[in-house]
């Protein structure tokens, strides 16, 4: 093999290697672009995670405040209930000191019951005989019930 043939063979070999290197360089460039895209996506997701962590911390703090408020409210409720019981005992002592036997009132006894139309009419008639002005005000207030009892409505 002559020197010229060797030179041509080497040129062909280098040309093949150059094409190979250029192909690898374009492949590396494409991979570098993919890596840059992945890094940008990762940075975006990291920022989102940090934002979510901050919100979780904020909500955790608000929850702690709410629980503290709840505990405070429950303590106030207990204090109010205790003072209400104390007020009842004080009232019983005052009544007892006046020489009267205290009577316990249950909430069931304090419930109001609705009067029937006839009861309202009878009350109006009785009031009319004793106090005309009060009867007039009572009639104005309970007019529809009195008319229903009389069969006019």
**Residues 30, 66 share a domain:** yes
Residues 150 and 97 reside in one and the same domain: no
The radius of gyration of the chain from alpha carbons, rounded to an integer in Å, stands at: 48
Same domain, 9 and 80: yes
Q: Evaluate if residue 37 carries a pLDDT over 90.
A: yes
Given this model, what pLDDT does residue 107 score? 58
Same domain for 100 and 138, yes or no, is: no
Query: Given this model, what pLDDT does residue 63 score?
Result: 95
Q: Among 2-11, 60-69, 83-92, which is the least confidently predicted range?
A: 83-92
pLDDT of residue 12: 82
108 pLDDT exceeds 60?
Answer: no
- Hey, what are 14's tokens? 């280098």
For residue 11, name the pLDDT band (cuts at 50, 70, 90).
confident
Same domain for 103 and 137: no
User: Does residue 127 or residue 69 have the better pLDDT?
Assistant: 69
Relative orientation angle of helices 132-141 and 117-130, to the nearest 10 degrees: 160
For the chain, how many structural domains are there in total?
Answer: 2
Question: Whose structure tokens read 């004080």?
Answer: 90
Same domain, 12 and 85: yes
Residue 145 CA from chain centroid, whole number: 44
**Do 107 and 145 share a domain, yes or no?**
no
Structural domain including 21 reads 3-111
So what's the pLDDT on residue 76? 93
Outline where the chain has alpha helix (H): 3-97, 117-130, 132-141, 143-150
Same domain assignment for residues 107 and 124: no
Residues 34 and 90 in one domain: yes
Domain co-membership, 52 together with 19? yes
Please state, in angstroms and rounded to a whole number, the distance separating the CA atoms of residues 14 and 25: 16
């Amino acid at each position: 093999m002559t020197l010229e043939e060797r030179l041509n063979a080497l040129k062909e070999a280098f040309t093949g290697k150059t094409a190979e290197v250029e192909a690898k360089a374009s492949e590396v460039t494409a991979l570098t672009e993919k890596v840059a895209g992945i890094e940008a996506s990762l940075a975006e997701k990291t920022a989102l995670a940090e934002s979510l962590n901050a919100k979780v911390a904020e909500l955790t703090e608000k929850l702690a405040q709410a629980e503290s408020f709840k505990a405070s409210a429950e303590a106030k409720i207990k204090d109010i209930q205790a003072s209400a019981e104390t007020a009842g005992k004080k009232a019983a002592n005052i009544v007892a000191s006046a020489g009267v036997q205290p009577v316990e009132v249950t909430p069931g006894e304090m419930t109001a019951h609705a009067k029937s139309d006839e009861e309202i009419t009878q009350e109006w008639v009785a009031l009319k005989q004793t106090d005309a002005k009060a009867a007039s005000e009572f009639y104005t207030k309970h007019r529809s019930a009195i008319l229903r009892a009389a069969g006019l409505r």
